[in-house]
Structure 1
Amino acid sequence: MSISLPESIRARLPYLLARAHHRQVDVFDRYTAAFEISGREYAVMLLLEAHERLWQSQIAEALNLDRTTVTYLVDALEKRGWAARNRDPADRRAHVVGLTPTGQQALAEIQPAVADAKNEMLAPLSEAEQDQLRDLLTRLISEDA
């Protein structure tokens, strides 16, 4: 027997945001299954694409993740040859992380699948509504909110 959720749950913002997030993860995972990459790993790769080399602490701060999680993410990317840790020339005690050429190629191959996932996820919305949703969510998570 299936039960329906009452409006008191279905209309709650936390419920709606969580459901949207779970749906987005499911759609992303389905489209990127062949690449065996998580959304967080993909985010790290995008960050490294934008910034040639970063300390793991910088990755953690930028993506709002704890350092241990970032270590696991970088380990996974490194095992696949998509990222590499190297000594920081400015501070020999520290390591910087960067995409490898193989990682750059993998990112290029993954991006069409991610675009298809985004298109499926946002298909019920017009382009104007998609822009509005992005704007509203950006405002909600802004440090100034």
Structure 2
Amino acid sequence: MINNLHETTGYKIRNVSLLLVNKINQNFQKEGFDITADQLKMLVVLWDKDGKTQNELGESIGRFKTSVTKLVDGLEKRKLIRRVQDPTDRRSNLVYLTKLGKNIRKQLLPIIEKTLDEAHKSISEDKLMEFHNVLDQIESNLM
């Protein structure tokens, strides 16, 4: 029986996730980048494979259509991506990185690394690897 919900795996994962997202957002802002952690997730997907539909992006980052549209709008406004009508489906847009969107990766990665170093401070590599393995197992159990 659960006595304290604050001690459950889900609560702890969610809390740490929110803290990490907030810290990444703060560190981006501190370094002069007007990009959120949610927008970063979309950029990461496009850095791996450019030219995805908005639906594919939504599935990749676990977001619904309306929030994907807002994220795409924000990245397009910052000239990091561009939308192109899908030649095989007029109802769809393909999302591509601009040159700036490709190049910003080099500037954001050190900020992300710094944030993760801060989060991982005083945790051994072995413990961190074990933690990742446990998270992978939880993810696998839930799929």
User: TM-score, normalising length from structure 1?
Assistant: 0.86
Counterpart residue number, 1:31: 27
Counterpart residue number, 1:41: 39
What pairs with 1:103-118 in structure 2 (closer than 5 Å)? Answer: 103-118=101-116
Counterpart residue number, 1:4: none
Counterpart residue number, 2:14: 18
Counterpart residue number, 2:75: 77
Query: How many aligned positions are there?
Result: 139
Separation in structure 1 between the aligned mates of residue 67 and residue 21 of structure 2, nearest angstrom: 18
Q: Quick check: 1:27–1:121 contact (8 Å CA) kept in 2?
A: no
Task: Name the SS of the counterpart of 2:52 in structure 1.
Answer: coil
Tell me the percent identity: 24
Separation in structure 2 between the aligned mates of residue 107 and residue 69 of structure 1, nearest angstrom: 23
Name the Cα RMSD after superposition. 1.8
Q: CA deviation at 1:115?
A: 0.9
Separation in structure 2 between the aligned mates of residue 26 and residue 52 of structure 1, nearest angstrom: 27
Gaps of 5+ in 1: 1-6
Q: Quick check: 1:55–1:95 contact (8 Å CA) kept in 2?
A: yes
AA paired with 1:58? Answer: E
Separation in structure 1 between the aligned mates of residue 91 and residue 8 of structure 2, nearest angstrom: 48
Separation in structure 2 between the aligned mates of residue 140 and residue 9 of structure 1, nearest angstrom: 18
Task: Name the SS of the counterpart of 1:52 in structure 2.
Answer: coil
Moved over 6 A (4+): none
Q: CA deviation at 1:93?
A: 3.2
Cα deviations by residue, 1:81-110 (Å, 9 ceiling, x for unpaired): 000000112223321001110111122211
Structure number with higher relative contact order (C-alpha < 8 Å, ≥ 6 residues apart): 1
